[in-house]
Structure 1
C-alpha cells in the first residue's frame, strides 16, 4: 500500500511541476516578462489550468500526509540508542575523565617545550 501511494505521489509531483511550468507568466518573474503568445492564452484556459493546479496540489498534500501517517505507524516505538546493551553504551559514550592533576599545565621541570635540534 505504501508503494502504491508513493508512486501516485511521484506522478502527482511530476504533473504538478509540468502544470505550473505550462501556466502563463504574469510578468516580472526574473525579468522574463509575460509577453503575448504561449501555450495557454485566454481567460478560460487560465482558469482551467488554475483548477488543475489546485486539484494536483490538494492530491499531492493528501498523499504526503498519508505517507507520513503510514511511516509513523510502521516506525518502531523506541530510539536506536535503546537497542544498545547497557554496559557497552556507557563505556563507549562516556569515557573516563582525566583526573584534576593531569589538567595542570606542565612546569619547567617537566619535558622541554620544543624538541631538541638535530644538527
Structure 2
C-alpha cells in the first residue's frame, strides 16, 4: 500500500508541475492559445487550470501527510541492527612501544669483556706485558 501511494503521489506531483507550467503568467509562460469561446477560451482555461492546480495541490499535501503517518507506523518497533558494531575495548591491554627498538639506553657504555676462565690476566694491549 505504501509503495502504491508513493507512486500515486509521484504522478500527482508530475501533473501538478505540468499544470503550473501550462498556466499563463505575466511573462507568457507555456500557455497555449485557444478559441475565444467555450472551455478553451482564455477565461475558461484560466478557471480550469486554477481549479486543477488547487485540487492537485490539495491531493499532494493530503497524500504527503498520509505517507508520513504510514512511514512512522512501519518503522516503529524495529530493533537496531548491531551486526556491524565495532568493539571499542581492546581484547588485551596494549604493550608500550619502545621507540628506540629495544636499546633502552644507547649512551651507556658497553660491558667490559669477562676475564678468561684459566685465571690468566690478559696482556696490556699497549705494552704487551701482563697486568700486575
What is the root-mean-square deviation of aligned Cα atoms in Å?
2.8
Residue 16 of structure 2: aligned partner: 16
- Aligned partner of 2:88 in structure 1 is 91
Question: Which residue pairs with 1:34 in the alignment?
Answer: 28
Q: Which structure: larger Rg?
A: 2
Kept in 1: contact 2:21–2:31 (CA 8 A): no
Larger RCO: 1 or 2 (CA < 8 Å, sep 6+): 1
The corresponding residue for 1:63 is 63
Q: 1:79 Cα shift?
A: 8.0
TM-score (norm 2): 0.51
- Identify the structure with the greater helix proportion: 1
Displacement after TM superposition at 1:84 (Å): 4.9
- What CA deviation, in whole Å up to 9, does each residue of 1:11-43 have, x standing for no partner? 000000000000001x2xxxxx239x9415511
Aligned length: 81
Q: After the TM superposition, which residues 37-56 of structure 1 pair with which residues of structure 2 at under 5 Å, given as runs?
A: 38-40=31-33, 42-56=42-56
Deviating above 2 A after TM superposition, structure 1's stretches of 4 or more consecutive aligned residues are 76-80, 88-92
Contiguous gaps of at least 5 residues in structure 2? 34-40, 90-132
Unmatched runs of 5 consecutive residues or more in structure 1:
28-32, 93-119
Deviation at 1:76, TM superposition (A): 3.1
CA 1:10–1:46: 2 relative to 1, 3 Å? same
Closer/same/farther in 2, CA of residues 11 and 43 from structure 1, 3 Å limit: same
The answer to whether 1:76 aligns with 2:73 is no
